[in-house]
Structure 1
């Protein structure tokens, strides 16, 4: 085997150091540690209100009844539940008495998704009671069912 000259040995040593330096990227040093942290954000205020609608056919006459459909629109960013419905009748004619009408509203905790419109939340019946008095004041009257949620 031939002996390396001093210059060759220096060159070999520099090449070896360079090779270790280039390949040294594969070796990692690290420290161990412990830590903790947290994060927080405010939830939606929720709540808000839904808009309730009552829909029924016109043409009522004394002694007749029509089905009523109740729907809800939820413009909030949170889903909600519509609980018990309440409904009342009014008319646009003073002589057409709301007491001559009966309306029911049946529902059981109906979920309404965020941003939903027209979600069914219940049903009922609107009845024009046949009273023992002249009810002509109700001819062509506008009957309004106002619905609320408890």
Structure 2
């Protein structure tokens, strides 16, 4: 085997350093990725239903009117708002004491009703017993009912 010259030794050393650097002197690795995602959760079902009530004084006679108070009960754990009110009249003797002899109003309230509350005022109105030319004696002792709803 032949001896390396000084110049050959320098080339051999430089080649060895280059080989070490290329093979393991500096190494790194990483992963790349792309992706998408989403999440979902259901909202509470509360806050949509309340019980509405209409209250007025007894003893209404033909040609007179009385104030009606509208209230709401909310048994859910979520507050809600009562919007426009609608009201209708019915009687316990619809054949002889006609519902058409009565009118009722319901003021739009847009009232907040707190969770787990009762008797929250949500509006007012007027119940009128119209004075019809027909005999209205059949309404004596009849029960007049005001049914209220929210739109």
What are structure 2's unaligned runs of at least 5 residues?
1-38
| Alignment match, 2:140 | 139
| Alignment match, 2:69 | 69
Tell me which structure has the larger Cα radius of gyration: 2
- After TM superposition, give the deviation of residue 107 of structure 1 in Å: 2.4
TM-score by length of 1: 0.71
* SS class of match (1:137): helix
* SS class of match (1:118): strand
| Alignment match, 2:92 | 92
Could you tell me whether the CA contact under 8 Å between 2:52 and 2:149 is conserved in 1?
yes
Partners of 2:42 and 2:118 in 1: CA distance: 26
- After TM superposition, give the deviation of residue 44 of structure 1 in Å: 1.4
Partners of 1:148 and 1:40 in 2: CA distance: 34
- After TM superposition, give the deviation of residue 48 of structure 1 in Å: 3.5
Q: Runs of 4+ in structure 1 displaced over 4 angstroms? A: 39-42
| Alignment match, 1:123 | 124
- After TM superposition, give the deviation of residue 45 of structure 1 in Å: 1.8
Could you tell me whether the CA contact under 8 Å between 2:48 and 2:80 is conserved in 1?
no
TM-score by length of 2: 0.71
Query: How many residue pairs are counted as aligned between the two chains?
Result: 113
Deviations 1:63-90 (A, max 9, x none): 0100000000000111000000000000
